[in-house]
A and B are shown apart, each in its own frame.
Chain A
Amino acid sequence: MTGNQIIGQILSGVSRGMMLFLISSGLTLIFSVMNILNFAHASFWLLGAYFTWTFWKILYSPIFGLWASIPLAALTIGAIGWIIEVILIRRIYDRTLTEQLLLTYALVLIIGDLIKLTWGVADRIVPKPKMLSGLVNVFGSPFPVYYILVISLAGFVALGLWWLLYKTRFGRRVKASVFSREMVGALGIPIHRIYTGVFVLSLIIAGLAGGVQAPISSVTLGMDMSIIVECFCVMVIGGFGSLIGALVGSLIVSLVYAFAIMVVPKMALVLIFIVTAIVLIIRPWGIFGTAMRT
């Protein structure tokens, strides 16, 4: 195994980790603010990829096609998220854990089938824009230019979320409501709007990530099922409710996977779960999580 190969693997791991972070960040936001574990989060991500394909097909334009499709898809997912929050999610804030999990599990089933109904079972392919389809040389290893987009986007989202949560009034309210729902309500701050806002924002990010994912590999049914479990692993390792944790956890999961693929390819996926289980056993609330905040 040459040094170049190792570097190549690390880079590949990092970019995959950034995609995982994009999805997990929304999952973490929803969990930390509303205490709901959204099984369907990756399904919205997948939906974003499919919508991107559709918009790209409609807008068929070699220059603007993808650049317009991705944001459009993200906004569409955000809109869908808004509807779902108002109709469904809002009703389960006070319910037991089981009921919440069942409901989001139901969403996984429904969205999966709706995708199948709308787009069929064939793989959908979205080509990368010319500008981003080449390779660059990073430390002697060939690296797809497109991945730079992924990494930059993830960085942008991370910074954006940080700014939003720590530098704006909305962010302060969000953090206050994490701390105490009753207090915020008593202070006259519209808690429902905060929840809706957080949910929609998370889904926009998911849709965005889905759109960016579309050109990377073909868009297939069932991608969401395996990704969501990886996201849970990310949250476990990084810490429930922590955005830094989502970032670090994503990197750890992806790098473990990247190296495992090289060394013990068959055990790669298994290894992720072993690591997850170990973290849960030693430190149930993850690296950056705070103890038992249910």
Chain B
Amino acid sequence: MGSEILLQIRELNKTFDGFRAISNLNYELRLGELSAIIGPNGAGKTTFFNLITGYHRSDSGQILFNGKNITGFPPHLISNLGIARAFQVINIYPTLTTYENVRQAVLSDQKRTLDIFTLASRLGRQETMEILQSCGISGHANVISGTLSQGDKKRLELAIALGNKPKLLMLDEPTAGMSGEESKETMELVNTLNREKNLSIVFTEHDMSVVFGYARRITVLHQGEIIADGTPEEVRGNETAQRVYLGEEA
């Protein structure tokens, strides 16, 4: 494809109390990719995300983002460098309004969080409203986010991640708990973000129709190792992947 490498992972290892979560992992992501990570429960998908975003420190190995070595960096520095993350379990600010939730990320992106002199109401309006609208929750801008429906909360989850204007967006089960219709809307949004804004996106999913419907590259994880990696067709045809995970699906 010829586009540059955005994320590079070399020989990544992580063990928790004797349990090998990630094992000699090598992975490369190019600019503009829309890629899925799949695998059975416990395969290491969330640990993989956690290591990249700085939640855990790897035991050994390297993580390079945009050529810069970010191994061992704390989460906020990694976020500042351009990696944003949406969580599997809803991770929002329940007593703040929807608007304020997203604005917080925008303020962080604009490096205005230390500003004790400017009223927050004057900052970041344009960007925040744009994100709210693109995620379809602008109608609830003034609602306290703790009272939103589950689906709206998931959308807010994504919206907050977008507030950082990331170069790489990592989505942990973006359609979990959504109906078919809602899933489609969310994934269409993800697709649009990838195509129009050239946002590189990596997501994990259990819903195979979503994975095969939208991902242009699929990586299969099993017991902390990559056992298959390629286009949807390639993965579908991969026997090991079939055996381990796909089984009855797709």
- Direct A–B touching, Cβ under 8 Å: no
